[in-house]
Amino acid sequence: MVQYSPHSDYEGEKNGNKAVRKVAGEQEDERSPPECTLEKSVKELMELIFNRQRFRITISVLKYDAIKLPLGKLSDTTITRGFQQLKDLAALIDDPAVASSKWNMGFAEATEHLSNTYYSFIPHRFGRKQPPIIRDDILLKKEIELFQSLSDMRVAAELMKIGRKTRDSIHPLDRQFQGLGLEEMTRLDDKSSEFGHIMRYLSNSGGGAHKMTYTIKDIFRIERQGERKRFDNSEFSKIPSNRRLLWHGSRATNLAGIL
C-alpha cells in the first residue's frame, strides 16, 4: 500500500523501485496554465464579478444558508415558490384584512405561517436567534433584495463552475467572459468625449442627500446579445429626443446575472 503525505515532494510507487518526484506548485499534467487573453481592464472587471470571496461575504451579509442549499442546487421551482410567499406577505402587509378573507387567520398568525413557509423554501442563517416574522415593509424589502441577489449570483456561480471544470487551452476568466455572451464590452478612453460626458453626468447629478463622492476608474460600453434589435423594434426607438439616463447601483456579485 502506498502512503502519501500532502506535505511531501515525493510520491512512492511500488511498480518496481520507482519514486516519482512531484515539485510543489507544478501542474500534474506538466502543462503551464493558459494565459488570460482579456484586455487588462476587462480582466480586472471579470475578477471583480467572479470573486469567490466576495460571494461568500455577500451570502453571509444576506444571511442566506448556502450550506443547507448551495446556489448550484437552487432551482427555478424553489425560487418561484419562495417568491410566491413574499408576494402573499406583501399583499397581507398592504391590506391586513386579506388574512381573514384569504387565509382564514388573524394577521399575526397569517404572517407567521407565510414567513415560516418562506424560510422552509429559502434557508437562512440566524444563529441562535429566532427567524424574524415578516410583518413590515422593511423586512419584506430585505428579502426581496436577497431574492434579486440569489437569482443573479446563481448565474455567476454556474459560469464559475464551468470555468473551473473545463480544462483546455482557455483561461477560466476567458471562459467566464465568453459565458456572458456579450456583443461588446469596450473600455472607453478616458480622454474621449463619451467618457467626459458620463463623468460630468455623474458628478453633476449625484444626490447631495447621500453625501457621497465618486471616483471613476473605468467606463465600459456594453451591448448584450439581441439588445440593439429589441430596442430598434420597440416604440422607444422612434422617440426623437427627451432621452433620460438611469443611474442604477448594484452589488458586484449581481453583475454577471444582470449582464
Domains detected in the chain: 39-176 (1.20.142.10), 183-258 (no CATH)
Output the pLDDT for position 114: 97
Q: Please compute the mean of the pLDDT values over residues 69-87 and round it to a whole number.
A: 92
pLDDT at 17: 44
CA separation for the pair 174, 51 (Å, rounded) = 14
CA atoms within 13 Å, Cβ hemisphere of 62: 26
The whole-number pLDDT of residue 244 equals 64
CB 171 within 8 A of CB 33: yes
Give tens-digit pLDDT for 22-45: 434 434 455 676 899 999 999 999
> What is the per-residue pLDDT for 166?
57
* Torsion angle (degrees, nearest 10) of CA 108, 112, 115, 117: -140
15 has pLDDT over 60: no
pLDDT at residue 210, as a whole number: 62
In this prediction, residue 245 has a pLDDT band, given cuts at 50, 70 and 90, of low
Using the predicted structure, report yes or no on whether residue 126 has a pLDDT greater than 50. Answer: yes
- Please check the confidence at residue 82 and state whether its pLDDT lies above 90: yes
Residue 163's pLDDT is what?
57
C-alpha cell at 191: 480622454
Which pLDDT does position 140 carry in this prediction?
Answer: 96
Greater confidence (65 vs 202) lies with 65
- Ramachandran class of 63: left when φ > 0, alpha when ψ lies in -120 to 50, beta otherwise: left
Number of H helices, E strands in the chain: 10, 4
Per-residue H/E/C for 153-168: HHHHHHHHHHHHHCCC
CA–chain centroid gap for 250, Å, is 10
**Neighbour tally for 44: CB within 10 Å:** 15
Give the lowest-confidence range in 17-26, 39-48, 54-63, 172-181: 17-26
pLDDT band at 242 (very low <50, low <70, confident <90, very high): low
Measured distance CA(228)–CA(182) in Å, rounded: 12
Looking at residue 235, its pLDDT comes to: 86
Give me the pLDDT at residue 207, please. 58
Give the mean pLDDT of the chain: 83
H or E element at residue 185: strand 182-187
Residue type, 62: L
Statement: residue 145 has pLDDT above 60: yes
Q: Is the pLDDT of residue 165 over 90?
A: no
